[in-house]
Each structure stands twice: as structure tokens, then as C-alpha cells.
Amino acid sequence: MAEFGKKGIRIEELTKRYGQGDTAVDALKGVDMTVAPGEVVGLIGPSGSGKSTLLKCLGAVIEPTAGRMILGDKIIYDRGWKIWDLRALRRDSIGFVFQAPYLIPFLDVTDNVALLPMLAGLSNRDSRKQAVALLHALDVGHRAQAMPSQLSGGEQQRVAIARALVNRPPVILADEPTAPLDSERALAVIRILNQMARQYETAIIVVTHDEKIIPTFKRIYHIRDGRTLEEDGEGRSLE
């Protein structure tokens, strides 16, 4: 799975310009960020500040304009991709959690999660075994046979987290993962992310507007006008 020896992610002077000429938009103007393995950091900022753009760059779905991205001990971007197969990079090294769970409606809960190891070439049986174990760890094991539409919002979100985790990626990118949840469930999701980060040495970046969860981060990046500002968070205990 994760073929990057040391874990964690670092970005340096990352810029992103959409379009060209007069209509060009500089969405990122030099972003620096370091997330250590086992750490959950918050990324907050006003609308249009470039949060989603940053996540897309980190997620290797859009190409930055300049700067560097280092995943573990491997440079993945340095004014150009240094990795040939971005698809495999996403599959093996990056987990995604979205505001909406975006589960595949025609696969049951187990296969929604097991799909990733299957795509990576693991047998169906082993993939499902991993998926079910993870679903149990996330407290949705009893719903493993259900279809996504039969789950509550919080359950769906936990399944989505299981999917993000199942390939043990060194990095998880979460875009407003708690927006549709009430504060209890939102905190539960953050608790799970923290637990998983520690357990699997994952670096987790959570984009959020959610006042309920902001106090839980030990470290927060503010992004404003395409630049980041690092600050210590309250790191409020989740127990």
C-alpha cells in the first residue's frame, strides 16, 4: 500500500493560477504547510480563499502552477508531477472524505469500502475482510450488509471514513466532513479521525467552517487570499 517510507506531508511555496491572461485567478499564492504523521490539522478560511483548491492540489486531481509537495520522503510535485501514475497515487496514498459521503449507491456498505483494496489488486475476500474489520472499528460493523441509502447521515459518514482509511494511506484529506452532522456526531467523527491518525500514523487535513469542531484541533492553518498562516489551536480534549 503506502510505498512512501516516512510518512507525513509537506508543501512549500505552492501556487495555483486558474486560467491565463486577463482572466487569470491566483487561487494559491504561496502556501506552506507541514502535517506530521498521526496529526490532525484544521484548515479554515473564508469563502473563496483557496481551501478547495489546496485540497485538489494535495489530492493530485489538479496540477499546481509552482512549488513543491513532498509526501513522506518522496517529492511528488516540483514544478511538475514527479509521479507518473496519479491514479495509483490517489488510490494508495490519499484518502478522501467529503462533506457528503458520496458512497456508491449500488454497492453495499462492505463493498463500498472493499472497493479500494480491490482496485489495488487485493482479492475480494481479503478486501472484504479488511473492510468489515474497519467498519467494526468505526462502529458501523452491524450495518455492513446494508445499502448506503438505508444508513443515517452519521453512519454514512463513518462508512466514508472507513473507505478513506482502508488502504492505510499516509494522508487523508477531509473537506467539511462534519457539515451535515449535529455537534455530537460531528465530534464523534473528529474523535475517530484522531484515533485513526494515531493508530495508522496518518496525516489528516480537515477543511472546515464548523465552529463545533474548530476548538478540537491542536494546530490550525488559516488560509486567506491564497496564503496560509499557521496558528496553535485549542486542542480541546475529545474524551
Partner 1 sequence: MISLAGRDILHAWGKFVFTGVGLGLLIGVTLSMAGIYRGMVDDAQVLLDNSGADIWVVQQDTLGPYAEPSSLYDDIYRGILGISGVARASNVTYLTMQVRLKDRDVRAMVVGVVPGGPGEPGQPGYLIAGRHITRSHYEAVADMAAGLRLGERIQIRRNTYTVVGLTRRMVSSSGDPMIFIPLKDAREAQFLKDNDTIVAQRRRTAANPAFNRPGVPDLLDAVIASQSANPFVNAILVQLEPGALPDGPADWIRRWKRLQVYTRSQMEDILVGKLIATSARQIAMFLVILSIVSAAIVAFIIYTLTLGKIREIAVLKLIGTKNRTIAGMILQQAIGLGVIGFVVGKIAATLWAPIFPKYVLLLPGDAARGFVAVVVICMLASILAIRAALKVDPAEAIGG
Ligand X SMILES: Nc1ncnc2c1ncn2[C@@H]1O[C@H](COP(=O)(O)OP(=O)(O)OP(=O)(O)O)[C@@H](O)[C@H]1O
Q: 3-state class of 238 per DSSP?
A: coil
Nearer Cβ to partner 1, position 124 or 183? 124
Number of residues that bind Mg ion (CB under 5 A): 1
Which range, of 3-11, 28-36, 113-121, 219-227, touches partner 1 by CB under 8 A? 113-121
Closest approach, Cβ 167 to Mg ion, in A, equals 25
Say how many residues make up the chain: 239
Nearest to 109 by CA among 143, 152, 157, 153: 143
Among the listed residues 34, 52, 65, 99, the single contact to Mg ion using CB under 5 A: 52
Among the listed residues 5, 21, 80, 105, the single contact to partner 1 using CB under 8 A: 105
Residues that bind ligand X (CB under 6 A): 18-19, 25, 27, 45, 47-53
Percent of the chain that is helix, strand, coil (3-state, to 5): 35, 25, 40
Q: List the single partner that 105 binds among partner 1, Mg ion, ligand X, none, CB under 5 to 8 Å by kind.
A: partner 1
Distance of CA 203 to the CA centre of its chain: 9
**DSSP characters for 181-203?**
S-HHHHHHHHHHHHHHHHHHT-E
Nearer Cβ to partner 1, position 91 or 185? 91
**Residue 22 DSSP one-character state:** G
Ranges within 141-200 binding partner 1 (CB under 8 A): 147, 163, 175
Cα–Cα distance measured from residue 2 to residue 5, given in angstroms and rounded to the nearest whole number: 8
Residues at the contact surface with Mg ion, assessed by CB under 5 A = 52
